[in-house]
Amino acid sequence: MAAKQVYFFGGGKAEGSAKMKELLGGKGANLAEMSRLGIPVPAGFTITTDVCTYFMKTGGKYPNGLKEKVNTALKKVEKIMGSRFGDPQNPLLFSVRSGARISMPGMMETILNIGLTSATIPGLIAKSGNERFVYDAYRRLIMMYSDVVMEKAAGIEPKEGKGIRQQLEHEMQKMKDAKGVKFDMELDAKDLKRLVDVFKKKVKQVLKKDFPNNPDDQLWGAISAVFRSWNGKRAKAYRRIENIPGDWGTAVNVQTMVFGNMGENSATGVAFTRDPATGENKFYGEFLVDAQGEDVVAGIRTPQAINKVSKSVTSKHLPSLEELMPKLYDQLAKTRTKLEKHYRDMQDVEFTIQDGKLYMLQTRVGKRNGLAAVRMAVEMRKEGLISEKEALLRVKPEQLDELLHPMLDPKAESKADKLAGGLPAGPGGGVGQIVFTADDAEAQAKQGKDIILVRDETSPEDVHGMRAAQAILTAKGGMTSHAALVARGWGKCCIVGCGALNINASKKVMSVNGKKLGEGDWISLNGTKGIVYDGKLGFLPADPEKNVHYKKLMSWADKRRKLGIRTNADNPHDAQTARKFGAEGIGLCRTEHMFFGPDRITAMRQMILVDDEAGRKKALKKLLPLQRKDFIGIFKAMNGLPVTIRTLDPPLHEFLPNDETSQKEMAEQMGVTVEAIKEKVQSLHEANPMLGHRGCRLGITYPEITAMQVQAIIEAACRVAKQGVKVHPEIMIPLVGTKAELENQRKVAVDTAEMVLQKNGVRIKYLVGTMIEIPRAALMADEVAQVAEFFSFGTNDLTQMTFGYSRDDAGKFLPHYLAKKILPADPFQTLDQEGVGQLVEMGIQRGRATRKDLKVGICGEHGGDPKSVEFCHRVGMNYVSCSPFRVPIARLAAAQAAVR
């Protein structure tokens, strides 16, 4: 461990900097940086993430000498602030906050007002001249400290509703009720003084310990609790979802308290340097007069807007900071500009005004949804703040998904029953059944239900349920409450601050504007506008083409990427959708998907069930015109772009009639007995169909199937060519493991194609290539390439056969593998570059050793996964092919790979 474990900041100086996020956490690094920039930051120090790791490893010990280092830093802070920690006359108070490398909003702990004791209270009262404020600060300290340090960090798990914090809140409510008041602010100094005595007794009674009355005990209790909160339940859940390593640890920031709750001349707030919901270049934020930071994010009081543009449904009647404190607003707005210029990205800041003086408490890169990310990247480029390359890297490819997401159908919306309005915290539409707890949301979503999680407040403890839900709806909270931040980060539909909701979570019911709803009832949310509707409304697909910023960004991406982007599509509609999203061809048309239609399944079954070639040919004859029609539609939709069509791949038994009725029907159609059909079905059963009679093995045993398909492809090509449509058919043979297999199928394909072309008197260039999806084909790629005119990696099967995990059964054990970290990711989603990737690289090298210009692509699911796309770029593929909705994601991922 490095000798330096404590980094001081304050008074325009700092030992750390923004570059030291790994060691100081995001918050600590940025506090140091802001201090260096001369932005007013209350002095403090950061204890490194190294210390956290040590603390975790040793079961709660600190490295030797840490206490002395902390004391040295503390002395420096005291000198700058002109007051002393624990001093009865002139006491200094601290906040103790977590801060990991990556922001985990609300997932770890914070404790404020450390240093308030019976000895320092009178001093602070004398200094502030405000007794109410001091006792209010003290009651907050007791609430937070007893909850975080004395209960959670001590490993006490109270029953639902019986936590110390809730019990104290209950005491406070009792006092308000007795006094006949509604708001905390209505309790005066005397009330609060009495309340803290009640609190201390309650703490002793519930937790069997006195509330610590020594500043040092408080400080170290808080530091330990914050370190421990790294392994708290919600932090762990969040890390799992966000893929944050458990061994990073958090830093601890000990910082001088400044108070936003010192009266009407004080305030506290949070702001974004641009609108995080739309990306628009306007300063956006919320604040509360006479409050502490936790009041803004906890969503208990309705925050006010910092300026006119930030006003919302709930804050439009309240004065803004700009109106209330114009000079301070001006200073804040200038700080905004300074921070954006310096960091060259949208910042999420916390500020406090203490008795007319502005302090910045935090700055970090702000979370944003996909829509906003795209707009900010493009506009920042245009403003000259960042380069085009940076702009491309600013948007996570997965985030584009949100632009492609469905919205509530406006027609249905206009007729729908509007239940209530709230704040539009996460855009898009959400339709689902109500549940009232995060655990229920998770459990019911697992059953395949569409769930809307409805909560009173926005608690970070709900993170697993929020993840599982289609959308989130809360009665309280503002745009910057934890739930809003988290949902926005995920691009999830979310409405907060919907005040009309009256929720009784324990009875699983709620009423909203006179209407009663319970668990399981359907509601629909418009997260873009913040409207809640009764019932289940329809969706409309998104139309990113209407978004100018998206189009700009994608034009930059297309200019820079080296990879071609194709799509996996097997019908004209999907092909059309993919083209709209920018697909440059079809990389995989799975023909088996074409045989399930009601107009052809019988003919298909007949083809499989007959015993002789003549019978099979007869059935194939029926299928031929249908297939031809399919291909005509697809060729037309792709209008001149290459179309890779794969011959029949899956095991035959997938098409068989398995129930009595369809078996009878088939028997009648074919003029045989039901028994005969049953027997045949039985005989086609395979012990391991994934490794059985499928792929080219079918075409080799029944060449007439391949011949029919190729005839349909080339006839369709001739037909559209005659109509003036350009076609580039590419015939692809699946599941090839040896050169001889491919030779066999190539001959059938070429013979058929030439025959059709000759008959039609047309010359169309077509290719015959192969899937590389069996490990042996990758190993023998040099030989295979003697016959193949192109390769397309089928990484679904290649992953299956390299790992030996059945694609159909992996769902049973993969979740355990991921939970136990036996695998870093699901290899069927993100390509295993180390293992399967070797086969891919080898396949490309060996294939191109034989055929220098061999065209190589990928058509397994990985073709739409950003990390895997980067790999495909690196190993020199020509294109990736993915499902239509992932085409934009792949375009951007490919550009990022090229830029990186």
Residue 564: HSE in the Cβ half-sphere, 13 Å Cα cutoff: 19
860 binds, among ligand PEP, Mg ion, none (CB under 5 to 8 A by kind): ligand PEP
User: Nearest distance from residue 648's CB to Mg ion, in Å?
Assistant: 12
End-to-end CA, the chain:
32
Q: Which is nearer to ligand PEP, 458 or 792 (CB)?
A: 792
Q: Which is nearer to Mg ion, 123 or 794 (CB)?
A: 794
User: Nearest distance from residue 645's CB to ligand PEP, in Å?
Assistant: 13
592 binds Mg ion (CB under 5 A): no
Residue 248: HSE in the Cβ half-sphere, 13 Å Cα cutoff: 24
588 binds ligand PEP (CB under 6 A): yes
860 binds ligand PEP (CB under 6 A): yes
Active-site hit among 482, 653, 728, 873: 482
Distance CA 370, CA 702 (A): 49
Residue 404: HSE in the Cβ half-sphere, 13 Å Cα cutoff: 18
Q: What kind and span of H or E run contains 203?
A: helix 189-207
User: Nearest distance from residue 796's CB to ligand PEP, in Å?
Assistant: 3
With contact defined as beta carbons under 8 Å apart, do 228 and 249 qualify?
A: no
- Tell me which stretch binds Mg ion (CB under 5 A): 148-156, 535-543, 774-782, 789-797: 789-797
797 binds Mg ion (CB under 5 A): yes
209 burial level (CB within 10 Å; 0-12, 13-18, 19+): exposed
- Tell me which stretch binds Mg ion (CB under 5 A): 528-536, 665-673, 715-723, 770-778: 770-778
Q: Which is nearer to Mg ion, 399 or 792 (CB)?
A: 792
- Tell me which stretch binds Mg ion (CB under 5 A): 110-118, 299-307, 568-576, 795-803: 795-803
Q: Which is nearer to ligand PEP, 313 or 690 (CB)?
A: 690
Distance CA 138, CA 134 (A): 6
User: Nearest distance from residue 828's CB to Mg ion, in Å?
Assistant: 12
Among the listed residues 36, 83, 73, 81, the one whose alpha carbon sits nearest the alpha carbon of residue 51: 73
Q: Which is nearer to ligand PEP, 609 or 889 (CB)?
A: 889
570 binds Mg ion (CB under 5 A): no
Determine the angle formed by the axes of helices 21-36 and 49-57, rounding to 10 degrees: 150
User: Nearest distance from residue 152's CB to ligand PEP, in Å?
Assistant: 47
* Phi, psi of 15, rounded to the nearest 5 degrees: -85, -25
Tokens of 570: 């097997």
CA dihedral 480, 483, 485, 487 (to 10 degrees): -140
User: Nearest distance from residue 776's CB to ligand PEP, in Å?
Assistant: 14
Out of 14, 32, 517, 859, point to the residue binding ligand PEP (CB under 6 A).
Answer: 859
Distance CA 21, CA 7 (A): 12
Determine the angle formed by the axes of helices 674-684 and 601-609, rounding to 10 degrees: 80
Distance CA 556, CA 541 (A): 24
Q: Which is nearer to Mg ion, 131 or 773 (CB)?
A: 773
Angle, vertex CA 690, rays to CA 684 and CA 694, nearest 5: 60
DSSP structure class, residue 82: T
Distance CA 843, CA 791 (A): 9
Q: What kind and span of H or E run contains 238?
A: helix 233-242
User: Nearest distance from residue 483's CB to ligand PEP, in Å?
Assistant: 38
Per-residue interface string for the shown chain with ligand PEP, residues 808-847, x marking contact by CB under 6 A: ----------------------------------------
- Map the footprint of ligand PEP across residues 779-798, applying CB under 6 A: 794-797
Distance CA 826, CA 815 (A): 8
33 binds ligand PEP (CB under 6 A): no
Active-site hit among 52, 589, 718, 859: 859
Q: Which residue has its beta carbon closest to Mg ion?
A: 797
Q: Which is nearer to ligand PEP, 347 or 795 (CB)?
A: 795
CA 787 to chain centre: 43
302 binds, among ligand PEP, Mg ion, none (CB under 5 to 8 A by kind): none
866 binds, among ligand PEP, Mg ion, none (CB under 5 to 8 A by kind): none
Q: Which is nearer to ligand PEP, 124 or 569 (CB)?
A: 569
773 binds Mg ion (CB under 5 A): yes
440 binds, among Mg ion, ligand PEP, none (CB under 5 to 8 A by kind): none
- Map the footprint of ligand PEP across residues 636-655, applying CB under 6 A: 649
What's at 573, amino acid-wise? Answer: H
User: Nearest distance from residue 770's CB to Mg ion, in Å?
Assistant: 11
704 binds Mg ion (CB under 5 A): no
Tokens of 731: 């015939």
With contact defined as beta carbons under 8 Å apart, do 52 and 7 qualify?
A: no
- Tell me which stretch binds Mg ion (CB under 5 A): 194-202, 562-570, 583-591, 786-794: 786-794
DSSP characters for 36-59? Answer: HTT-----EEEE-HHHHHHHHHTT
Considering CB under 5 A, how many residues would be counted as binding Mg ion? 3
861 binds Mg ion (CB under 5 A): no
Q: Which is nearer to ligand PEP, 115 or 863 (CB)?
A: 863
865 binds ligand PEP (CB under 6 A): no
Q: Which is nearer to ligand PEP, 121 or 589 (CB)?
A: 589
124 binds ligand PEP (CB under 6 A): no
User: Nearest distance from residue 794's CB to Mg ion, in Å?
Assistant: 4
859 binds, among Mg ion, ligand PEP, none (CB under 5 to 8 A by kind): ligand PEP
Active site residue 482: yes
User: Nearest distance from residue 797's CB to Mg ion, in Å?
Assistant: 4
Tokens of 722: 């005659």
With contact defined as beta carbons under 8 Å apart, do 693 and 686 qualify?
A: yes
3-state helix, strand, coil in the chain (%, to 5): 50, 15, 35
Q: Considering just the CA atoms, what is the radius of gyration of the chain in Å?
A: 32
Distance CA 569, CA 583 (A): 10
Tokens of 350: 């916390």
Tokens of 462: 């709900």
Considering CB under 6 A, how many residues would be counted as binding ligand PEP? 10
User: Nearest distance from residue 649's CB to Mg ion, in Å?
Assistant: 6
590 binds ligand PEP (CB under 6 A): yes
DSSP structure class, residue 19: G
**What are the angstrom distances between the C-alpha of 323 and each of 265, 274, 291, 329, 763?**
13, 20, 18, 9, 76
- Tell me which stretch binds Mg ion (CB under 5 A): 136-144, 176-184, 632-640, 797-805: 797-805
Tokens of 272: 């974004």
Give the residue numbers annotated as catalytic, written as ranges: 482, 859
Question: What are the residues binding ligand PEP (CB under 6 A)?
Answer: 588, 590, 649, 773, 794-797, 859-860
Question: What are the residues binding Mg ion (CB under 5 A)?
Answer: 773, 794, 797
